[in-house]
Structure 1
């Protein structure tokens, strides 16, 4: 069957657009082929800086013939209906229609329409111009004298020529004739802009690809990447260095060249005093070059590798020298930024955060840092971190956002904080936390192990989650502008991979308290203080002005203002309408926040969903997560996962499967009877009303529950599951036909007693999970 070759040759296409453009071209053309009845065998698209290419093989030579039978009006219908039928079907008269007889509905006309298929080349010639004109570039332009005309072609860069050939592999292909804005499709293209600029003719894809290569164009981007990587490694190894691989840069560079040539340049050794990451970011961002490292030290060498698009007659000396000049200037700027940053301590930068708003409803960056510092100090003892070091790290962790280097290279935030902290003599744990508190930022990112880093990282992510939950800015559908799903997964990974067992509810409550702490409105501050434990039922707001003169107390349960002086012996006349209006304003703002109990429940549910995603990606069953979360008070991620793992192992055994079946049978019977009676069957059953089999089951349940609960309290979930397995035989005996036990006995007292016994079976398994949530 024939093949199609299509090339759209233009000026340089931005590298970031090439991959999607190739995919779009393939999708648009192949979708249209299928829609026209031309089902193909395979297709592949390519992109270089100056061309988009598509090859589709195994296309039928013509469309299939179509036969359609269209029902018309009844015989004897009004003339208007008949004329409409003839016009719609293309028939000249009713003589060309047949009459279909229906004893019940009456006779009606039927048109037999035969539509012969068109040659595939004609169909392709019709839709290709439309695809070219409507191609979905993110940005496009018009050019030349024709650009002012209505309907002028818009393309990412000026389009110069089009190849479109169609034909059998063994025959000379035909040109698919069409015109786009004065550009006629043909079979002529050009090679490399400088090394082979002349036109040449092609026939089909194999011929096209071979001639392009001879004309110094590597069509396949994957092949260009392989060439760049292999040549760069060879150059580095020749001087006893190692290439610092960078997949993102490799993808970009391969879209900048059609004939890749790797060259090595150098820069002054003095620049090696700058952190390696700054050197790499500078060279990468400005010149799209790779850096190399000394394998003996692991530090960067004063060398770089660039990718040229030409085999220069001087061996690339001029190209290398030009890149060295630019890199020298860029590194000089970077060194100036770095040296300038070192002159100002991190804590001296903090006052500027007072003027930077984090979120209009969540205050400034300074207020956020204060929240993180307070929350991190609460978390520190729970993860074994030094409280003072944790507070210091939390205070400094965002300071590098105001440095010159991070302003130039935002991707280095956190990392530069570590360098600056070490340079000013901070503790190693404090410095590490400045970098690691952002981690993990994705499933492949590492999790910090230093306790101080863990405490600050948890505080940072929980403040974000609770803050946006409090102002009702939760993720919706695919929209997550504040990356809250990533933050939740980060908390989960921090807890799981560091083996930290903490109540999420307590952390959420502490974070909520911090979110409400230290808001500033006008000249007044609002502080919240817990009264009894951390019950949100009664929270008192304390207000005072900047001089700490006025003091007022506001109970959230009622807007009653009690204004007092700091020194209770004094009274101030200002504690009147003006001050009360500030209090009322703050009180109304507080009332707009999501209630803390609602927030805690909703956010825990969000964590449960994220945990299911995490465990499902690891091959675990999400229904087991539901079964554990269904128990009251399950908010320790580490313990939940351990329960899930133990439960999965238990259910893989015969004892587990049979106990699950028995428990579900008991639960189903209970659900029916509870609905029928409109009541639950809680309470201990009476042994006096039991048979020997029932007594054995009841006593087994009692001993099992005590022992299983002991194991759960000791966090030994495997032993708890093993203990539950002893229920299996007793439950089986109860439900066995040979037992003669009928749950819905005629004697009402016996029936109720047996239903209570079923309730005890259900309750016994809840020591480890809610078995009703587990799928069979």
Structure 2
């Protein structure tokens, strides 16, 4: 079957846009094809610094004919209804409609609409320019006098369509004043000449000959493998960085890996500073020696094959890196000479938020909050206050000004160098964490106290000015802050009830539900253990885990069935009687041994579960609940709840209410599905 080849050749596309743009192009074209009736077998998109490409295979030569039946008004309907039907169906006379009968609705008109298929090339000549005109880039530009927008100026468009063994045709359309053809171009430096292509297979081979690797993932593999081999030959290992690898693969069409070096004297700098400097300025990878220490070497990925073996390229990168590391050393030494606390007044000039004040104002609140939290988690109050006071001080340092991603980390380096206690220095780095699901969580008490204080300070601040996340919009990363609080509490096993306003507590509940569901918990079990005033994150987590374990057993499943039966009976009888049951049991009204046994079991379990819940031992509490399975089964087998004797009936309903209330000590079982 025919295939479509589309290439959009342009000036350099920013690396960060390429993968997303390729996928967006694939979706836009294939969605439009399906809408036009052109069902395909497969589609794949590619990107390099100078091109987006798409191949769609298994396309039909024409869209299929369509036959549609349009139901009209009843026979004998008023003329305006008939006229409206004729217009919508495109009929000239009602005689062109068919009459069908319905046993219930009688006779009605039906129009049979025949829509012939269209040639695929004709459809593509309409689809492709519309896709390009509507294509969305994070940033785009308009050039010349036209209205066409693209990320960078388009230089050529290739669009061919045809079966495998025949000469394809060019899809006739134009965009940005460029007519589609079948000519593309190779590598800018190594093979810049024009290339005539027919379909994807020869297009791919022609690009390879012209020193272009079309697939970004293959370029990544080449860079990764060559870098590892080059490092291994020197007894070194590459510090892999997936984000940097993705960026570098988006900067080159024909990757060529080389190694450079820098003055070992720069290794006196913190290794994170060296890595950040080399990464940010030259997009190079750093290396470690066999002992795990940073090596004075780096990996360069060039987009050419130098005739001199790379000597000029390596020397140029070495010069730039030497200058950048010299700048970093200057910043570092200058920052070390100024005690961190001396930078605090400068925070008054840094606006955190127009309605929340300066960074200094946030630090003042942070110190107060850390002092409140510290004793609750076993942290030294003075150390927590000191760490909170210095937490943001590195924001005004030269190094963090140059590399904002090092905030917190540089605070730890400076604090240690200036004689602060290790737990205080560590808290300066760790109070930002965790920044994501794979990031570390603070584990030391002072770090925990300041990290919790920092996140709660930000959350409560934005809640106080009614700046909350809405939909996908969360410019201040408040969802991440809430998830950070949850991870710190749960992963450290902290008994730390959240003293926040109800609306913010509900926000934590929503984030916790997301977290637990991602960890595999059933949504109904999470709902069963959360109430509007549940402010103990660890307790909710432990209850959910314990409830899940209970319901995974036969005793738990059968007990749930017994609970539902009891709850349904209670709901019906309380509605009928107009009152709630749950009063004290009358021992004299317990007529049958099964109800006496259940009454005894419920009293025993109620006391045991209450005590275990008070000690936060939810697994044991669930185990106690499971012992009710047998007496509950026996009760419903032998006992008629709606006994004719009113006193016996009321007593049995009170017993069921006692059972319900006992189970509600650990969870609201009415919210459990299944």
TM-score, normalised via structure 1 length:
0.81
SS at match of 2:17: helix
1:597-746 counterparts in 2 under 5 A? 599=501, 601-630=502-531, 634-691=534-591, 692-736=593-637, 739=638, 741-746=639-644
Partners of 1:633 and 1:132 lie apart in 2 by: 52
SS at match of 2:149: coil
1:5-44 counterparts in 2 under 5 A? 5-44=5-44
Q: CA deviation at 1:743?
A: 2.0
Q: CA deviation at 1:327?
A: 1.5
SS at match of 1:448: coil
Q: CA deviation at 1:60?
A: 0.5
- More moved, 632-641 vs 46-55: 632-641
- More moved, 229-238 vs 246-255: 229-238
TM-score, normalised via structure 2 length:
0.93
Q: CA deviation at 1:414?
A: 0.5
Q: CA deviation at 1:99?
A: 6.4
1:514-525 counterparts in 2 under 5 A? none
Q: CA deviation at 1:320?
A: 1.3
SS at match of 1:763: helix
In the other structure, the counterpart of 2:228 is 233
SS at match of 2:295: strand
In the other structure, the counterpart of 2:670 is 772
Partners of 2:508 and 2:106 lie apart in 1 by: 65
1:115-156: CA deviation from partner (whole Å, max 9, x where unpaired): 33222122112222232333223333344xxx23xx454332
Structure 2 residue 166 is the aligned partner of structure 1 residue 171: yes
Quickly say closer, same or farther: Cα 1:113–1:642, change in 2 above 3 A.
Answer: closer
Equivalent residues of 2:82, 2:94 under 8 A apart: no
1:287-436 counterparts in 2 under 5 A? 287-296=282-291, 298-436=292-430
Quickly say closer, same or farther: Cα 1:221–1:666, change in 2 above 3 A.
Answer: same
In the other structure, the counterpart of 1:523 is none
In the other structure, the counterpart of 1:118 is 118
Structure 2 residue 46 is the aligned partner of structure 1 residue 46: yes
In the other structure, the counterpart of 1:455 is 449
Q: 2:266 aligns with which of 266, 271, 283?
A: 271
Q: CA deviation at 1:681?
A: 1.8
SS at match of 1:130: helix
Equivalent residues of 2:10, 2:154 under 8 A apart: yes
Quickly say closer, same or farther: Cα 1:391–1:696, change in 2 above 3 A.
Answer: same
1:173-227: CA deviation from partner (whole Å, max 9, x where unpaired): 2222233344222222111111111112211111110111011000000000000
Partners of 1:651 and 1:365 lie apart in 2 by: 49
Quickly say closer, same or farther: Cα 1:675–1:258, change in 2 above 3 A.
Answer: same
SS at match of 2:55: strand
Equivalent residues of 2:260, 2:315 under 8 A apart: yes
Q: CA deviation at 1:378?
A: 2.5
Partners of 1:73 and 1:633 lie apart in 2 by: 57
Equivalent residue pairs, number: 672
Equivalent residues of 1:260, 1:307 under 8 A apart: yes
SS at match of 1:6: strand
Partners of 2:57 and 2:247 lie apart in 1 by: 29
Equivalent residues of 1:97, 1:110 under 8 A apart: no
Partners of 2:77 and 2:384 lie apart in 1 by: 89
Q: CA deviation at 1:95?
A: 11
Partners of 2:263 and 2:601 lie apart in 1 by: 80
Cα RMSD, aligned residues only: 2.7
SS at match of 1:40: coil
Quickly say closer, same or farther: Cα 1:84–1:752, change in 2 above 3 A.
Answer: closer
Equivalent residues of 2:187, 2:253 under 8 A apart: yes
Structure 1, gaps ≥5 residues long: 509-598
